[in-house]
Amino acid sequence: MLEELKKEIKERGSLPVHIAVIMDGNGRWAKQRNLPRTEGHKAGVEAIRKVVRTAGEMGIQYLTLFAFSTENWRRPREEVSALMQLLSDTARRELKEMMDNNLQLKATGDIEGLPYAKRLALSQAIKKTSKNTGIVLNLALNYSGRSEILSAVRKIAREAKEGKLSPARIDEKMFESHLYTKGLPDPDLLIRTSGEKRLSNFLLWQAAYTELYITETLWPDFGEREFLMALADYQSRQRRFGRV
């Protein structure tokens, strides 16, 4: 049944090149089951595995997942440390799988701001997979769209002050080359799970013309079928980029 749908979607063509996902609803999923929020995050990792696999099968080239926002530091200490532990454990545990699938891991955000011990496995996986040529899995970690823009502005101002750059040369292309997402195309499709209709400071610059797909499904329940539905919905859109 799903194989049929996959085939249909592939035949229809014009798939998104880059998909970004706000993986929301882990806490609510756990609450519904009377479980601690951290169990929701664990279940969320399983959903990540499914979505990464399906995206690869469908030939999606870039997948950016919002895993931890700069604002998420304000959550209870136990939840933050469980999330950091999960990140480090998963990066270590999934390395072989990433290599087997020719996946290239990247990170977007203030990575230096993550606890050193916790980002070690992540840095190793990024380095190890850097020559792979398959799907790019880009994790947005300690990420804030506004901070990203400010950090680009700071870098550009510094270059101008040092006389390396004239303000007249600042255009979109050069600005983008100072963002964390340098080298990545803008997302074509942004999926947000669990029904919230907001960007929550995600990819503010990059999502200028991105198609939005919002589903009520909570992230741990988001699987292969849901992902394919989002692709099919995207294929029915008409992108105009301000033209007629």
CA distances from 142 to 48, 52, 67, 80, 215 (A): 18, 21, 8, 11, 24
Taking the CB of residue 8, how many other CB atoms lie within 10 A of it? 12
**Rounded to an integer, what distance in angstroms lies between the CA atom of residue 244 and that of residue 237?**
14
The site for ligand IPE, by CB under 6 A, has a size of 17
Nearer to ligand IPE, 54 or 64 (CB): 64
CB of 170 to ligand IPE, least distance (A): 30
Q: Are 61 and 136 a contacting pair, CB within 8 Å?
A: yes
**Rounded to an integer, what distance in angstroms lies between the CA atom of residue 188 and that of residue 206?**
10
CB of 190 to ligand IPE, least distance (A): 12
Residue 237, burial from CB neighbour count under 10 angstroms (0-12, 13-18, 19+): middle
Q: Is 217 in the site for Mg ion (CB under 5 A)?
A: no
Residues numbered 50 to 69 that lie near ligand IPE (CB under 6 A) are 66-69
Q: Tell me whether residue 233 is one of the annotated catalytic residues.
A: no
Q: Is 16 in the site for ligand IPE (CB under 6 A)?
A: no
Q: Is 24 in the site for Mg ion (CB under 5 A)?
A: yes
Q: Is 40 in the site for Mg ion (CB under 5 A)?
A: no
Q: Tell me whether residue 34 is one of the annotated catalytic residues.
A: no
Q: Which residues bind ligand IPE (CB under 6 A)?
A: 22-28, 66-69, 72, 83, 194, 196, 198, 200
